[in-house]
Structure 1
Amino acid sequence: MEQQATYQSDGLSLDAESGRRAQSATWRDYLQLTKPGINASNLLTTFTGYWLAAFTFDYNLDLQKLLLTLLGTAFVIASGATLNNYYDRDLDAKMERTRHRALPSGRIRPRTALLFGLVLLAAGLIVLAVFANPLAAMLSLLAHIFYVLVYTPLKRVTSLNTVIGSISGAMPPMIGWAAVTNNVEMGAWVLFLILFLWQPPHFLALAMLKAEEYREGGIPMLPVVRGFTETKRQMFNYAAPLVPASILLMLYANLDLAYFVTVLLSSVGYLYILFKGFRAEDDLAWARQAFGYSLIYLTVFCLAVIVSAL
């Protein structure tokens, strides 16, 4: 009886402590749930799709509609990130890099995170449906479902999770495009293709850098289950079609010679860096370089589209 009383007392103490930690959550904790860095890069591609469609089809550039499209998309992406954090909280608790996040550390309760994610989703869909069009809202919902209900659980069971996740990550420029034309013309699909091809090399470079943490967490990322050599090969194979895909966009959108030269040089530069990986003496240093250049490549591509479309 004495041992049972002690156990119950300890349990109450732990519950109270958990409650205090949950109450100590700050606005920064909720912001981190939404993965603001990933959200920002997705909003850049959403803006690019909207901008390119508007100038390709000579639509008036409705700044209010553009801002509301970005806002609605941001809410939906933030929802996906929050629900991803909610689902992965047990995995995050196993890895040093993530165990101090608000959910695994107990500063935010799982039920609170779930509700927060669902509210963000509803808000985003309403904003897109009302102020853009139902097609843009439907595309954002499709990307959200694929990210939360397909990619997130599959991350635990297959090394193909990076490729599968690339489908939802390639949707934002289509959302921006559809917000303008209320359609998904061929230009939107080429933008989807470019973003789909860009993502595996980008995220696999990061997976190489975090391979030991993923191994510790039991997550079957490609560098963990197949090794660095196979990861490098797949990174190069996905990046190689970026050259023709980027040029193909010129057939379906209002882009000039400056765009052609910019994306050609940046794509070839990307392939050169990835090719160097096959002879790299320090795999992690090379992966860091490849990851950094992938961010530069995406930014340069979007800026080239935005400037050239004017």
Structure 2
Amino acid sequence: MDQQVTLQESLETDSAMQAQSTQPATWSDYLHLTKPGITISNLMTTFTGFWLASSGSPDWALALWTMLGTALVIASGAALNNYYDRELDQKMKRTKNRGIAAGRIHPRNALLFGITLLLAGLVVLAVFANPLAAVWGLIGHIFYVLIYTPMKRVTSLNTVIGGISGAAPPVIGWVAVTNNMDMSAWLLFLILFLWQPPHFLALAMLKVEDYRAGNLPMLPVVKGFAETKRQMFLWGAVLLPASLLLFFHGNVGYIYLAVAAVTGLIYLVLLYQGFHTDDDIAWAKKMFGYSILYLTIFCAAVVVSTLVENI
């Protein structure tokens, strides 16, 4: 009986959303449903794993299929995340104009769109790369859509769990080439997993009022800024040595080692400054920006160092 009531309420909510706007959905609405910024950043790490596994001499056709399949799976996760969060998105200023929340995209269409993207992505990875790449695509998708997304409503640990899905793309790139999970693959997974909590907790600090309005138990909401900054520092402190381990187990050279050491130390210094800042929001904005810069430099350092090592 409860399930029937819940289903009825959901259908009524979907109908209300559809009635909110008389504007038809555009291709731009469907594009934004896939969160292209997140998709592109994840493809950057996918290519990094692919390049490293290829020792700087990639099969470009395989690279293209791997990137396409990964992009489709990630885009599917974003679309289904938007579908699941459609009621929640209406409560937050930064998300209330999304296609589903604003009523331009019918929830049913978003669901079918997301499922279609997932199936297409898995087929591309399995057929043109290998089944292990498709398995890792599915692992990342499951953790993002079926575990992380519902967990956002119940626990601040959602950020940590979500890190598993965010750490899958470089592994997809690696196994697409090697069809094997060796130490380098696990280190790529570990580095991306450790990078995500400081990155997303900085964003959570910036959007704390939105999350509070949405009644989401993000760490800054339930524990405050002081505890959030402490945890960000701890994650960053583990990220530094983990990133250096890739020098000993991956096909990278001293260029990578130097860059990883310097950028990691800078990250730690900036994170430590958070304990003494007078403006938490300004500091969080700086940390969010540096986390993106750190990831970009990390990927570039892997590519350049691998290339130099194999000249």
* Cα distance in 1 between the residues matched to 2:162 and 2:281: 23
Which residue identity does 2:258 align to in structure 1?
A: V
| 1:166-245 matched pairs, under 5 angstroms | 166-245=163-242
Q: Would the aligned equivalents of 2:70 and 2:121 in 1 still touch at CA under 8 Å? A: yes
Deviating more after overlay: 133-142 vs 248-257: 248-257
Residue aligning to 1:104: 101
Q: Would the aligned equivalents of 1:45 and 1:173 in 2 still touch at CA under 8 Å? A: yes
Q: Deviations over 1:236-274 (max 9, x none)?
A: 000111221111011211111111111110000011110
Residue aligning to 2:150: 153
Q: TM-score, normalised by structure 2?
A: 0.92
Residue aligning to 2:258: 261
* Cα distance in 2 between the residues matched to 1:236 and 1:16: 44
Residue aligning to 1:46: 46
* Cα distance in 2 between the residues matched to 1:18 and 1:44: 35
Residue 186 to residue 200, structure 1, CA distance change in 2 (3 Å): same
DSSP 3-state at the match of 2:216? coil
* Cα distance in 1 between the residues matched to 2:38 and 2:161: 17
Partner of residue 115 from structure 1, selected from 104, 112, 117 = 112
Unaligned runs of 5+ in 1: 1-14
Q: Deviations over 1:258-307 (max 9, x none)?
A: 11111110000011110000001000000000000000000000000000
Q: Would the aligned equivalents of 1:23 and 1:108 in 2 still touch at CA under 8 Å? A: no
Which residue identity does 1:29 align to in structure 2?
A: D
Residue aligning to 1:132: 129
Q: Would the aligned equivalents of 1:21 and 1:108 in 2 still touch at CA under 8 Å? A: no
Q: Would the aligned equivalents of 1:22 and 1:109 in 2 still touch at CA under 8 Å? A: no
Q: How far has the Cα of 1:191 moved from its partner? A: 0.6
Q: How far has the Cα of 1:96 moved from its partner? A: 1.2
Residue aligning to 2:6: none
In angstroms, what is the RMSD of aligned CA positions?
A: 1.6
Which residue identity does 1:116 align to in structure 2?
A: F
Which residue identity does 1:44 align to in structure 2?
A: M
Residue aligning to 1:141: 138
Q: Deviations over 1:158-187 (max 9, x none)?
A: 000000100110011000000000011110
Residue aligning to 1:29: 29
* Cα distance in 2 between the residues matched to 1:95 and 1:143: 26
Partner of residue 63 from structure 2, selected from 61, 66, 78 = 66
Q: How far has the Cα of 1:16 moved from its partner? A: 11
Unaligned runs of 5+ in 2: 1-14
Q: Does 1:83 align with 2:80?
A: yes
Q: How far has the Cα of 1:18 moved from its partner? A: 3.7
* Cα distance in 2 between the residues matched to 1:83 and 1:17: 16
Residue aligning to 2:5: none
Q: Deviations over 1:98-141 (max 9, x none)?
A: 11111111000000000000000000001001100000001100
Q: TM-score, normalised by structure 1?
A: 0.92
Partner of residue 273 from structure 1, selected from 255, 270, 273 = 270
* Cα distance in 2 between the residues matched to 1:222 and 1:174: 28
User: Which runs of structure 1 show a deviation greater than 2 angstroms over 4 or more consecutive aligned residues?
Assistant: 15-23
Q: How far has the Cα of 1:21 moved from its partner? A: 3.7
Q: How far has the Cα of 1:20 moved from its partner? A: 9.1
* Cα distance in 1 between the residues matched to 2:245 and 2:271: 22
Which residue identity does 1:50 align to in structure 2?
A: F
* Cα distance in 2 between the residues matched to 1:122 and 1:236: 39
Q: Would the aligned equivalents of 2:17 and 2:103 in 1 still touch at CA under 8 Å? A: no
Residue aligning to 1:4: none
Residue 172 to residue 186, structure 1, CA distance change in 2 (3 Å): same
Higher radius of gyration, 1 or 2: 1
Q: Deviations over 1:74-97 (max 9, x none)?
A: 000000010000000111001111
Residue aligning to 1:12: none
Residue 90 to residue 253, structure 1, CA distance change in 2 (3 Å): same
Residue 214 to residue 70, structure 1, CA distance change in 2 (3 Å): same
* Cα distance in 2 between the residues matched to 1:46 and 1:22: 39
* Cα distance in 2 between the residues matched to 1:191 and 1:17: 41
* Cα distance in 2 between the residues matched to 1:198 and 1:253: 18
Aligned residues: 294
Q: What percentage of residue pairs aligned between the two structures are identical? A: 64
Which residue identity does 1:307 align to in structure 2?
A: V
